[in-house]
Structure formats: C-alpha cells, structure tokens
Amino acid sequence: MKILITGGAGYIASHTNIELLAQGHELVLIDNFCNSVFESVKRVENISGKNLKFYEVDLLDIPALENVFEKEQNIDAVIHFAALKAVGESVEQPLRYYENNITGSLNLYKAMKKYGVNNFVFSSSATVYGDPEETPVKENARIDATNPYGHTKAMMEQILIDAAKAMDWNIVILRYFNPVGAHGSGKIGEDPEYPANLLPFVSQVAAGIREKVVVFGDDWDTIDGTGVRDYIHIVDLAKAHVKAIDKLSNAKGTFIYNIGTGRGYSVLEMIKAFGKACGHEVPYEVGPRRDGDIAEVLADPSKANNELGWKAEYGLEDMVNSAWKWQKENPKGYRE
Ligand code: NAD
Ligand code: WQD
C-alpha cells in the first residue's frame, strides 16, 4: 500500500516505518519537526536501505497539506501519529493542544475526504480511559479522560468514528499503553529534550545526565506501593501498525484495539530492571504523588490478539536493554 505517515519523524513513527518498509509498503512522511529532527528519517533510511519521501508540513497549514495529497496521487491509507503528547504541558497550554491535535486532525480528515482516501489508522492512548473502574481494561470501558491531552485523543476518536460512518471509511484506532525501548540496531529511539515519562528519565539518570529518579509516591495500592503500568516494547507497538494496515486491506468498518502486554510493572521494578541492564544501581528517592496519577492500569489486549493476530513478543529485559543501548550509543540522542 502507499501510506501517508503524519508525524513521520517521531518516536513511534520511526520504528513503525521500519516495519512497514520491511513489508514492502511505500511511505510518504510529513512532519513539522515540532518534536523531532530529520536525522531520525535518515537513520530509518539507513536501517531499511530504502529512500523515503518526506514533506516538511504542518497539519495546520491546509494548502501545504493539500499539496502533498495533490502531488502524491493514489494514497491508499493514512497513519496519523502527529500530535502534541505531554500531559503536563497540555494542562498549561490547553488551547495549543486543542488547536494542534483537533484542528490538525480535522484538516487531515478534510483533505482525505477531498482526495478520496478512506483507510485510516489512528494513534490513540490508554489515557482515554482515565482511571478505569476495572483493570485490565477492555476497549468497551468508559471513556473518561482527565486532562486536555487525553480529551483531544477522546475527541479525535469520536470525530473519526462519526466521519467514518458518514463517509464509509475503514478505520483502526490503536490505544497504546506505555511505549518504551528502542530499535535493536541502537540507531533510533526516544529522544526527548526533557523526559516527561518514566523510562527515558531513568535512562538519563543511569547515564549520569540527571542525578536521581524521583518516584512519584510509594503509598499507592499496588504490589510495592509504586505506580504500575503496562509497558510495551516499541518494536511490538510498531508491528501492531503493520497488522492494522493488513486489517484495512481485508475488512471494512471501525475497529478499536488496546495495544499492551496485559502484564504490569511497578516503578521500582522498572528502576531495578534498568539497573541490571546498565550494570549499576540507578539512584532514586521517593517523592510526593504526581497530580492526576493513578495507581495501576493494564491493557486487556485479547481483542488485538484475536482479531488483529498481533501479540506482544518482547519482555521487560528487552525493553530496558534496548533503551540502554540507545542511550549509551547516542548520549545526545539525534542531536550530535
Ligand atoms: P513524537 O512527539 O515523537 O511524534 C509525534 C510527531 O508529530 C513529532 O515528530 C512532531 O514533530 C509531529 N507533529 C506534531 N504536531 C504536528 C503538526 N501539527 N504537523 C506536523 N507534524 C506534527 O510522539 P510519539 O511518542 O511518537 O507519539 C506518536 C503518537 O502516539 C501521538 O499521537 C501520541 O499522542 C500517541 N501516543 C504516544 C504515547 C507515548 O507514550 N509515546 C502513548 C500513547 C499514544
Ligand atoms: C509511569 C509511572 C508515574 C516519572 C503517560 C501519559 C499517557 C501516555 C503514556 C501518551 C507512573 C511514575 C514517572 C517519574 C515516576 N502517553 N513516574 N517518576 O503517566 O502512565 O502515562 O505516558 O498518550 O497518556 O499519561 O506514564 O511514564 O509518565 O509514568 O515515579 O519521574 O512512573 O507516577 O506510575 P503514564 P509515565
């Protein structure tokens, strides 16, 4: 298939692009580099041995966006990664988040309609469940996002579902749990300037860039009192997109899947596992709870296992080993 990848230079897209190229798909990437650099695209080209078509385009720029559809005739499907994704920042800058994520997506949906593209994969998030009543959580659980970023994801899902009904689009919504780790080559990985998530933070502490990890509370109702999450290896997550594209070529309708392992790890378990990967203990101290955090959330991935034929294959060791390899071999990320 010829697939348009929005946010094509970002963390999850880079890993997904490698898997899609390996399956023979043709890719057209767009990104505005608000949270990425072109180096990631070059490295994907190196790893896969294929040239990529790339457009530096902001989804808020309608003429530039339409120009891509105009030039690239016969796009079969879109995978929509482009979004702002930092929960804390979304609380401080809600209008920027709504404009980028909602208006940007609406521009994309309208361009798809104009140019007759009707297959779509959407990057959603476990964040749409908020603090679910039951965990592991199933796809039919209540949507109850608790911050502006989560609201943008829940709203985009709804807009997409309505649009798909009206225009006969085929869509797959993937709700990712906690993506971590890096490609086995050590050439691509997560490259945040200031890490908002646990594992990149732990990784920078292990590398001596930051002094210690602050554990956000050890009085949660969990196995050891620290928060428990369903961490998913980035390469497993990337492969779920290949399955989603396969689904679109042989089924019609709207499909929603949790993408997680179903197995949780606590903050302390993650820090300990990372210490093993890097060969020394990672210093930490226990601090107060973070606003808006929850004790535990895990995916029930059985729907994706059964219907998509996708299952997470990598375990915790692979997650932390790959994250450490990336950190060690690229101490400044892509910015060297
Ligand atoms: P990322 O920031 O690395 O990638 C997103 C890319 O989109 C970046 O390259 C950024 O420059 C680009 N972008 C943002 N706004 C744009 C715009 N208006 N026009 C063009 N490009 C734009 O993030 P990621 O971790 O790869 O996340 C990809 C998607 O997955 C996002 O939609 C995110 O919300 C979702 N998601 C991420 C996580 C996670 O923990 N990483 C979890 C669940 C869902
Ligand atoms: C994991 C655990 C923290 C940092 C977020 C978004 C979610 C999704 C994934 C995009 C929690 C603890 C963390 C630290 C800590 N992103 N922690 N010290 O909060 O599960 O999910 O990223 O869609 O929407 O909300 O991930 O990595 O921030 O936290 O103790 O310095 O680590 O309290 O228990 P989270 P996280």
The answer to whether 185 and 47 are in contact (CB under 8 A) is: yes
Task: List % helix, strand, coil for the chain (3-state, nearest 5).
Answer: 40, 20, 40
Specify the DSSP class assigned to residue 282. P
149 is catalytic: yes
Query: Residue 304 Cα, ligand 1 centroid: separation in angstroms?
Result: 22
3-state secondary structure 230-274: CEEEHHHHHHHHHHHHHHHHHCCCEEEEEECCCCCEEHHHHHHHH
Query: Which member of 11, 97, 149, 257 is catalytic?
Result: 149
In this prediction, residue 40 carries a pLDDT of 98
Ligand 1 pocket test, pick from 4, 5, 6, 12 with the greatest ligand atom count within 8 Å of Cβ, gives 12
**Distance between CA atoms of 139 and 215, rounded to whole angstroms?**
29
Tell me how far apart the alpha carbons of residues 292 and 145 are, in angstroms, rounded to a whole number.
11
For ligand 2, residues with CB inside 6 Å are 85, 87, 125, 127, 178, 197-198, 201, 213-216, 227, 229, 267, 290, 293
- Confidence at residue 208, expressed as pLDDT on a 0 to 100 scale: 96
Determine the 3-state secondary structure of 296 from DSSP.
strand
- CA-nearest residue for atom 4, ligand 2, is 198
Q: How far is the CA of 30 from the centre of ligand 2 (A)?
A: 27
* pLDDT tens digit sequence for 92-131: 999 999 999 999 999 999 999 999 999 999 999 999 999 9
Tens of pLDDT, residue by residue over 300-332, are: 999 999 999 999 999 999 999 999 999 999 999
pLDDT of residue 50: 96
Cα angle for residues 34, 38, 40 (degrees, 5° grid): 105
pLDDT at 132: 95
Q: Output the residue whose Cα is nearest ligand 1's atom 35.
A: 123
DSSP type of residue 10: S
DSSP-assigned beta bridge partners for residue 302:
none
In tens, the pLDDT along 266-287 reads 999 999 999 999 999 999 999 9
**What mean pLDDT is predicted for residues 204-232?**
97
pLDDT digits (tens, 9 = 90+) for 69-93: 999 989 999 999 999 999 999 999 9
Cβ of 176 closer than 6 Å to ligand 1, yes or no, is yes
Q: Encode pLDDT of 58-73 as tens digits.
A: 999 999 999 999 999 8
Using omega within 30 degrees of 0 as the cis cutoff, is the peptide bond preceding 136 cis?
A: yes
Residue 335 confidence class, pLDDT cut points 50, 70, 90:
confident
Closest listed ligand to the CA of 38: 1
Close Cβ partners of 29 (under 8 Å, ≥ 6 residues apart): 5, 8, 9, 13, 17, 41, 52, 53, 54, 55
Of the listed ligands, the closest to the CA of 56 is: 1
Q: Which residue, chain included where needed, has tokens 């930490």?
A: 284
The β-bridge relationship of strands 254-259 and 119-125 is unpaired
- Nearest residue CA, atom 36 of ligand 2? 197
Ligand nearest to the CA of 216: 2
How far is ligand 2, taken at its centre, from the CA of residue 197, in Å? 5
Q: Could you tell me if the CB of 271 is within 6 A of ligand 1?
A: no
Q: What is the pLDDT of residue 110?
A: 97
Distance of CA 194 to the CA centre of its chain: 17
Whole-number Å distance between alpha carbons of 248 and 90: 32
Residue with tokens 């961490």: 231
